[in-house]
Structure 1
Amino acid sequence: MGHKNPDSEAFLYFLTKDYLGFALEGSQSGPATDSVAETLRRTGSSLQTHEQEFELFINNLNVGSIEEAKRAIPILTREIYSDGTDNWGRLVTLYAFCGVLVRHLRRKGIPEGELIEDIAQCMAHHTWTHKAAWIKENGGWEKGFVEFFRQKSPRFSYAKMAIVTGIVAAFSFVIYQH
């Protein structure tokens, strides 16, 4: 992945950059470099059916630039985690939102390289600052995250339900507040 220490902000940056590139390029992107990147791609893609909710949130906050996007990420994070509960599904929701966000901003004419770089740095820093301790306490990226979303695991279905619940709750609140 470029940086192998999963307990570092650099790892989060490369993971986020990989995911955002995948969100923009889809099947045209290269293969995932490790099981964490592959799992994030797969679980983030499973949220494609909720792209309209993400777009509605983006439009309600009038996100049309990288600076506005950087302000929207913490707002969404606060809403998703407003009940104080952390889980892997909510974290994937943030990444999936960023994938929709970069596609939205690309349509606004922002160059892909700048877009991926800036959003990846923002998301990696935000995740490192606010979620690194929780991630480590819950098995880290390689064990906790990958194992939680293992497709054959019965928890995979529950995780998808948690993702949907997090999306609906966060977007319902934010959309009606703004």
Structure 2
Amino acid sequence: MKRLKLLSSALKQPENHLKLHCRGQSLHFALCARFSMENNQLQSVYTLVQDYLKHVCEDAELDAAPSQVAQVLARVAPSLQEEVEEKIKPLWRSIKISSVEEASDIFSQVMAQEFADGNTNWGRILTIFVFAGITAKKLQQHGVPLTRENMQPICHCVTEFINTKATWISENGGWDSFLAKLGEEKSPWLALHYIKTKLISAFSFFSQYY
């Protein structure tokens, strides 16, 4: 499989180092230690990611009742995810994902390109969940069952990427602000056309090298 050759400027972004953290069984133990050290903030994000992926992959078995953020995310994001999936279908069709490691690689590399310009907003935070859902479904379609064991490293990888945006999230009102924005039907930040265009552009860049 041909590896993505990221631009040298993008390689300086912290997100690109996620590949090192998104592989191997040691990831689970390393992140469990971090969860207990950071006042459960990472655990909350992990649970949010897990709940969303279970929702889009039609897994009704949740560990606990989903948070309010998870419930609103599950209502808003899937329709956007479906539109993006339809747009990238011609490119996505040629890419086969046969392992959790490959899924994590693809996720982290597309997200690195998505955020390569250094800009962050709530719309882009939303695309993290959207593309995570797209990647998980693709993995499922290629015959890899999304068991708890397989779901864990994907959720960890997505959580680690979101954690690289922790400062921005905190400075912009935290997840309560994200919830408020998700609930605004005509919010300018949720310019769906822009969000779709940006994510599709990042994926198109990725597919050139895959």
Determine if the TM-score, normalized by the shorter chain, exceeds 0.5.
yes
**Structure 1 residues 29 and 88: CA distance shift in structure 2, 3 A:** farther
- C-alpha distance in structure 2 between counterparts of 1:154 and 1:73, whole Å: 27
Match of 2:150 in 1: 115
Structure 1 residue corresponding to 2:122, chosen from 88, 113, 120: 88
Match of 2:46 in 1: 13
1:9-158, aligned counterparts within 5 Å?
9-25=42-58, 33-47=66-80, 48-55=82-89, 58=92, 62-113=96-147, 114-128=149-163, 130-142=164-176, 144-155=177-188, 158=190
- C-alpha distance in structure 2 between counterparts of 1:46 and 1:52, whole Å: 11
Following TM superposition, by how much is the alpha carbon of 1:177 offset from its aligned partner in structure 2, in angstroms? 4.3
- C-alpha distance in structure 1 between counterparts of 2:107 and 2:128, whole Å: 8
Which sections of structure 2, spanning at least 5 residues, go unmatched? Answer: 1-34
Query: Which residue identity is paired with 2:114?
Result: I
Following TM superposition, by how much is the alpha carbon of 1:13 offset from its aligned partner in structure 2, in angstroms? 0.7
The 3-state SS of whatever aligns with 2:86 is helix
Kept in 2, the 8 Å contact 1:149–1:155? The answer is no
Q: What is the aligned-residue RMSD (CA, Å)?
A: 2.8
The 3-state SS of whatever aligns with 1:120 is helix
Whether 2:196 is the aligned partner of 1:164: answer yes
Q: Which has the larger radius of gyration?
A: 2
Matched residue pairs, number?
171
**Structure 1 residues 138 and 77: CA distance shift in structure 2, 3 A:** same
Following TM superposition, by how much is the alpha carbon of 1:140 offset from its aligned partner in structure 2, in angstroms? 0.6
Following TM superposition, by how much is the alpha carbon of 1:90 offset from its aligned partner in structure 2, in angstroms? 1.4
Kept in 2, the 8 Å contact 1:13–1:124? The answer is yes
Identity %: 29
**Structure 1 residues 9 and 55: CA distance shift in structure 2, 3 A:** farther
- C-alpha distance in structure 1 between counterparts of 2:48 and 2:120, whole Å: 20
**Structure 1 residues 161 and 32: CA distance shift in structure 2, 3 A:** farther
The 3-state SS of whatever aligns with 2:191 is helix
Query: Which residue identity is paired with 2:172?
Result: N
Cα deviation digits, residues 113-145 of structure 1 (max 9, x gap): 2332221111112211x1111111111112x10
Kept in 1, the 8 Å contact 2:88–2:200? The answer is no
Kept in 2, the 8 Å contact 1:57–1:174? The answer is no
